[in-house]
Amino acid sequence: MNRPIRNIAIACLVLFAALLLNINYVQFVEADSLNDKNGNRRVIDEEFSRDRGAILVDGEPVAESVKSKDEYKFQRRYPEGGLYAPLTGSFSYIYGPSALENSQNRVLSGSDNRLFVNRVVDLVSNKQPKGGSVELTIDPLAQKAAAEGLQRLGKDTKGAVVALDPQTGAVLAMVSQPTYNPNRLASHDFSDVVKSYETYSRDKDEPLINRSTQQTLPPGSTFKLVTAAAALENGVVDNIDDRIKAGARLTFPGIQYSLPNENGGNCGGDRITFERALNVSCNVAFGALAGKVGQEKLAEQATKFGFGTDPIEGLASSASRFTSGDNKLEAPQLAQTGIGQFEVATTPLQMAMVAAGIANGGDVMKPYVVKTVRSPNLRVLEQAQPERLSQAMSSSNAAKLREMMISTVTRGTATSARIAGVDVGAKTGTAQSTPDRPPYAWFVSFAPADDPKVAVAVLVESSDTARDEIAGGRLAGPIARSVMEQVLEN
Amino acid sequence: MTSPAWVPRKRRGAEFFLTVLAVFIGIAAYASVGLGVDGTIPADTYKLGGALIVVAILSHLTVRKVAPYADPVLLPLVIALNGLGLAMIYRLDLGRQQINPERAAFANSQLVWTAIGIAAFAGILVLVRDHRRLQTLTYTFGVAAIALLILPLLPYFGRTINGARIWVNFGPFSFQPGEAAKVCLAIFFAGYLVVKRDALALAGRRIMGIDLPRGRDLGPILAGWLISVGILVFQRDLGSSLLFFGLFVVMLYVATERPGWLVVGALLFGAGAYFGYAAFDHVRVRFDAWLDPFSDPDRNGQIINGLFGLAHGGILGKGLGQGSPQLTPYSFSDFIAASMGEELGLTGLMAIILIYGLIVERGLRISLTCRDAFGKLLAAGLAFSFALQVFVVIGGVTRLIPLTGLTTPFMAQGGSSVVMNWAIIGLLLRISDQTRRPAPEISTFASDEETQVVKLS
């Protein structure tokens, strides 16, 4: 009977080997993904009880953990309240971490692989593990200026501001209004957290979303920059003095519909210069240009500026779109698309990228918001490297478009962005959505022209302003200017 | 005598040394639970430590006295597991009572059960001086096994807990007779097969290099299979069903040396498993929970929680008292392996599985070296059923196979399991004592000396 017993022994060996391999798989290979699963209370409890790293802006914490006396040992605090909420998100026990609290969780909680040595040292010395810190690219003064600018338009204002460093892609300001107070979601009083969250999520103004990256809306005339870029890049127009078709209405053969200008004017003649067309934001001229460029090339230009891809890592973001599908646009639809209507929908971040790309000689830099990641002992773990997303246009064409945007500030629709002694380029936009709601006021700009330091996109979705007074230049322009001033002063 | 033949060694000193180590592991684990939870060594460490030392010494002395040649490794291995289990149950008492102070504490009763288990272990060694005596009681054990299996189904005694009707109420006590039935069945199978093995080993048809048994010889295996299916149907106990059937098939194979039985067994198992899946919701639920637990996190909360615990423990574990194993339902019984994995880590859980593996290995070694067929079969059956049980329960908890309800030997909270597993170790030590004992001296030589020719002057 010994042979079968030996075989049984081998079978038992196989069973135990399977057990050992399997627990190695569960506890080692699969462990990270299990730990990241939703609703894993062990991980939540542990991270909640940890000395979580701070999120810093210019050396000052905008999210930090302070000792608390309850069972979780630490309380997450957001000293600036809602100002940085779209960036930091909130570290909520019940609803989980959001925004950077979520995407930088591994560093902040100290479980990042690069902090492994720290963890081992903590383990050996029996210290509580600490998290690393994350320094943002935000300019605190610009951030404040952007938020105050939106608030000045009234407490019901909905809008967003994004400022970028055109040469690096660093996000200098990112504001969304209305916002929420992350302290109320990170509280350890869980019934209060639930109440706050319910209030926020039921609010029809959606304070929990980051309007600057998540919400896409028709960009209106600011999209004419993309159309202009496409016209230059594809040789439809060569110089800013070239005369192009304008006039009171753009008609289409065999179709009843015709495209008018914004205030019923004729843009100053049937044929005006390319520069003039942008200065006065001539719908007829850009509608016609869009038709000449064609859908394919125009879409291609939009893609080069970043349309169709999630623009930023670490924050919830939506891709901007040129059309809703792949369908072929009819001529009037293409013309409307060329002036930022029909199905074009962009985020403020995307429009800031367009302005930044034009300012930066046609090179669109990939936006980023995390500048430096440090270990608890302040060793630099990661330093952001500027990265080129694409070359949207040649530098000579970019220079032409810049010149046109500068003259739009000096003698066009964007005079509200003027800053004494600085060449500022800008473009306004006022996008119609449906007749029953106010139009969206847009403003994109950059400064200074020769060595761009800042590019801004401002969206005012709705405000307390009367409907017939809404225009990108008047509402959004001053906000863009004050943000640019703050950046330039530093 | 010049032959350098194997000199039997008792190795009781080695056993004593290993037992000291094993007791130390248990006491140290208990102390570090206190350090992990409260920051102090529990005030009653001396109580548990003292009890553990006393029972360990008593069991060691019993072996020394009545089974001096028994395997020296088994006892320390089991004491180590038992000590770790006690510490973990105490740790989970603390953790569970943090959530809700009303919850029952199990550590003390488990300590009492351990003492009873060791008494049973000693009792078997003392009372059963030769395991072959058990063979004369073959059918008695068979009847006892059937009775034990039927007991929970009786209207007055039986109790259904968590959907399985495997409990018996006996006054204030409740126990699972299935554990005892397993041992009785192993003895019965061994006794029965020793007698019938030749009949069953008759050549049958040979298909693809495997001797398949004759149709008329299928009777016993079909009976075994029916018992298993009966357990599944009436008691809804997937794990025991699989365990009994596996035990029977393997013993049949060892007795007859014919792999054909394994083939027949596997086919019958497949049919039974398919039947179970098709006929019973609870089997389907377990199976689906195994395939994709996260498809229904509410229903599969237990296995998910167990996996979370294991993952949270990682390689080195959180340390005793510093994880959150109490979040898992039944963390102190069915899922104690996951609790160990969380607090002792992959390293600790691997060590525990290796201890189980060593116990199985010692059991099979005893079976290999045993000189009589009954002892061989019994040891092989006990060792294999132990291995299968560990595989089914730890494999289930770690999602290697679908989860079934079996106890984790020596660690899980539960009196019947602890007592019967100690009894199994008692039986194995008894067989190994017989095996390793020097063969009785052939007395002719001695009598020759006594009857040497006396010269008469």
Task: Say if B360 is an interface residue toward chain A (CB within 8 Å).
Answer: yes
Helical H runs in B172-237? Answer: 177-200, 219-230
Residue B3 CB burial class (10 angstroms; 0-12, 13-18, ≥19): exposed
Instruction: Compare B103 and B168 and report the one with higher pLDDT.
Output: B103
Distance (Å, whole) CA B312 – CA B333: 19
Q: What is the mean pLDDT of residues B5-16?
A: 81
Q: Is the dihedral of CA A329, A331, A335, A336 positive or negative?
A: negative
Which residues does chain B have within 8 Å of residue A109's beta carbon, measured at their own beta carbons?
Answer: none
Q: Do residue A4 and residue B257 have CB atoms under 8 angstroms apart? A: yes
The pLDDT, as a whole number, for residue B450 is: 57
Choose from A421-425, B206-210, B287-291, B389-393 the range with maximum mean pLDDT: B389-393
Which residues does chain B have within 8 Å of residue A40's beta carbon, measured at their own beta carbons?
Answer: 308, 312
User: How far A120 CA lies from chain B's nearest CA (Å)?
Assistant: 11
User: How far B290 CA lies from chain A's nearest CA (Å)?
Assistant: 14
Which residues does chain A have within 8 Å of residue B308's beta carbon, measured at their own beta carbons?
Answer: 34-35, 37, 40-43
Q: Most B CBs within 10 Å: which of A6, A14, A15, as the mutation test of the B interface?
A: A15
Q: Most B CBs within 10 Å: which of A8, A32, A71, as the mutation test of the B interface?
A: A8
Q: Is the dihedral of CA A148, A149, A152, A155 positive or negative?
A: negative
Return the structure tokens found at A166. Answer: 């055109």
Q: Which residue of B has its CA nearest to A40?
A: B308
pTM of the model: 0.71
Q: Most A CBs within 10 Å: which of B242, B250, B263, as the mutation test of the A interface?
A: B250
Q: Most B CBs within 10 Å: which of A23, A49, A128, as the mutation test of the B interface?
A: A23
The pLDDT, as a whole number, for residue A371 is: 94
Q: Do residue A34 and residue B308 have CB atoms under 8 angstroms apart? A: yes
Q: Which residue of A has its CA nearest to B363?
A: A9
Which one of B354, B383, B398 has the shortest CB-CB distance to A26?
A: B398
- Separation in Å, CA A20 to CA A207, B28, B288, B345, B359: 50, 25, 23, 13, 16
Return the structure tokens found at B18. Answer: 């290993």
**Structure letter (DSSP) for residue B233:** I
Task: Say if B357 is an interface residue toward chain A (CB within 8 Å).
Answer: yes
Q: Most A CBs within 10 Å: which of B307, B374, B392, as the mutation test of the A interface?
A: B307
Distance (Å, whole) CA A180 – CA B284: 46
Return the structure tokens found at A11. Answer: 């079978």
Which one of B387, B395, B400 has the shortest CB-CB distance to A12?
A: B387
User: How far A203 CA lies from chain B's nearest CA (Å)?
Assistant: 30
Q: Do residue A37 and residue B327 have CB atoms under 8 angstroms apart? A: no
pLDDT for residue B363 is more than 50: yes
Q: Do residue B360 and residue A16 have CB atoms under 8 angstroms apart? A: yes
Question: Rounded to 5, what percent of chain B is helix, strand, coil?
Answer: 70, 5, 25
Q: Do residue A34 and residue B307 have CB atoms under 8 angstroms apart? A: yes
H or E element in which residue B205 lies: strand B205-207
- CB A59: neighbour CB atoms within 10 A? 7
Q: What is the mean pLDDT of residues B405-425?
A: 91
Task: Say if A124 is an interface residue toward chain B (CB within 8 Å).
Answer: no
Locus of tokens 């159309």: A227
Contacts of A380 (CB under 8 A, 6+ apart): A372, A373, A374
- Secondary structure class of A157 (helix, strand, coil): coil
The set of catalytic residues of A is 221
**Structure letter (DSSP) for residue A454:** E
Would you say the ipTM is above 0.85?
Answer: yes
Tens of pLDDT, residue by residue, chain A (490 residues):
789 999 999 999 999 999 999 999 999 999 989 988 878 888 888 878 888 999 999 999 999 998 888 778 889 999 998 999 999 999 988 888 899 999 998 889 888 888 877 777 776 776 677 888 999 999 999 999 999 999 988 888 899 999 999 999 999 999 998 999 999 999 988 899 999 999 999 998 899 999 999 999 999 899 999 999 999 999 999 999 999 988 888 888 888 888 888 777 788 888 899 999 999 888 999 999 999 999 999 999 999 999 999 889 889 889 998 887 777 888 889 999 999 888 899 999 999 999 999 999 999 999 999 999 998 888 898 899 999 999 999 999 999 999 999 999 988 888 888 888 889 999 998 877 666 677 889 999 998 988 999 999 999 987 766 655 566 667 888 999 999 999 998 7
- Secondary structure class of A237 (helix, strand, coil): coil
User: How far B57 CA lies from chain A's nearest CA (Å)?
Assistant: 31
Instruction: Single out the residue of B223, B137, B231 nearest to residue B178, CA to CA.
Output: B231
pLDDT for residue B248 is more than 60: yes
Map A32-76 to HEC letters.
Answer: HHHHCCCCCHHHHHHHHCCECCCEEECCEEEEEEEECCCCCCEEE
Q: Do residue B349 and residue A8 have CB atoms under 8 angstroms apart? A: no
Which residues numbered 225-264 in B keep a CB inside 8 Å of some CB on A? 250, 253-255, 257
- CB A346: neighbour CB atoms within 10 A? 34
Distance (Å, whole) CA A373 – CA A382: 5
Distance (Å, whole) CA A26 – CA B256: 39
Total beta-carbon pairs less than 8 A apart between chain A and chain B: 125
pLDDT for residue B5 is more than 80: no
For helices B74-99 and B336-369, the axis angle rounded to 10 degrees is: 170
Which residues does chain A have within 8 Å of residue B310's beta carbon, measured at their own beta carbons?
Answer: 23, 26-27, 31, 34
Tell me how far the alpha carbon of residue B109 is from its chain's centroid. 20
Angle, CA of B299, B410 and B404, to the nearest 5°: 25
- Secondary structure class of B25 (helix, strand, coil): helix
Which one of A16, A26, A34 has the shortest CB-CB distance to B353?
A: A16
Task: Say if A16 is an interface residue toward chain B (CB within 8 Å).
Answer: yes
Banded pLDDT at B6 (limits 50, 70, 90): low
CA dihedral A92, A98, A100, A105 (to 10 degrees): 60
Task: Say if A310 is an interface residue toward chain B (CB within 8 Å).
Answer: no
Banded pLDDT at B99 (limits 50, 70, 90): confident
Return the structure tokens found at B432. Answer: 């190994």
Distance (Å, whole) CA B47 – CA B113: 15
Return the structure tokens found at B67. Answer: 């089974």
Q: Are B122 and B426 in contact (CB under 8 A)?
A: yes
Instruction: Single out the residue of B69, B55, B67 nearest to residue B23, CA to CA.
Output: B55
Instruction: Single out the residue of A175, A176, A193 nearest to residue A184, CA to CA.
Output: A193
Which residues does chain B have within 8 Å of residue A22's beta carbon, measured at their own beta carbons?
Answer: 395, 398-400
Q: What is the mean pLDDT of residues B110-134?
A: 93
Residue A161 CB burial class (10 angstroms; 0-12, 13-18, ≥19): buried
Banded pLDDT at B207 (limits 50, 70, 90): low
Q: Do residue A1 and residue B395 have CB atoms under 8 angstroms apart? A: no
The strands making up A133-136's β-sheet, listed across from edge to edge, are A74-77, A60-67, A55-57, A133-136, A370-374, A380-383
Distance (Å, whole) CA B89 – CA B106: 7
Q: Which residue of A has its CA nearest to B316?
A: A27
Lowest mean pLDDT among A209-213, B272-276, B387-391: B272-276
Does CATH place domain A220-372+386-489 in 3.40.140.10?
A: no
The pLDDT, as a whole number, for residue A472 is: 65
Q: Do residue A8 and residue B394 have CB atoms under 8 angstroms apart? A: no
User: How far A164 CA lies from chain B's nearest CA (Å)?
Assistant: 40
Tell me the helices (H) and strands (E) count for chain A, helix number first: 20, 19
The pLDDT, as a whole number, for residue B1 is: 44
pLDDT for residue B215 is more than 70: no
Contacts of A141 (CB under 8 A, 6+ apart): A486, A487, A489, A490
Distance (Å, whole) CA A23 – CA B176: 29
**Residue A344: phi, psi to the nearest 5?**
-65, 135
Which residues does chain B have within 8 Å of residue A72's beta carbon, measured at their own beta carbons?
Answer: none
Q: Are B23 and B56 in contact (CB under 8 A)?
A: yes
Q: Are B96 and B326 in contact (CB under 8 A)?
A: yes
Q: Do residue B388 and residue A15 have CB atoms under 8 angstroms apart? A: yes
Distance (Å, whole) CA B50 – CA B57: 10
Which one of B312, B380, B400 has the shortest CB-CB distance to A22?
A: B400
Which one of B311, B360, B361 has the shortest CB-CB distance to A27?
A: B311
Which residues does chain B have within 8 Å of residue A19's beta carbon, measured at their own beta carbons?
Answer: 353, 390-391, 394-395, 398, 400
pLDDT for residue B443 is more than 60: no
Which one of A28, A43, A45 has the shortest CB-CB distance to B346?
A: A28
The pLDDT, as a whole number, for residue B360 is: 97
- Secondary structure class of B298 (helix, strand, coil): coil
Angle, CA of B271, B201 and B381, to the nearest 5°: 65
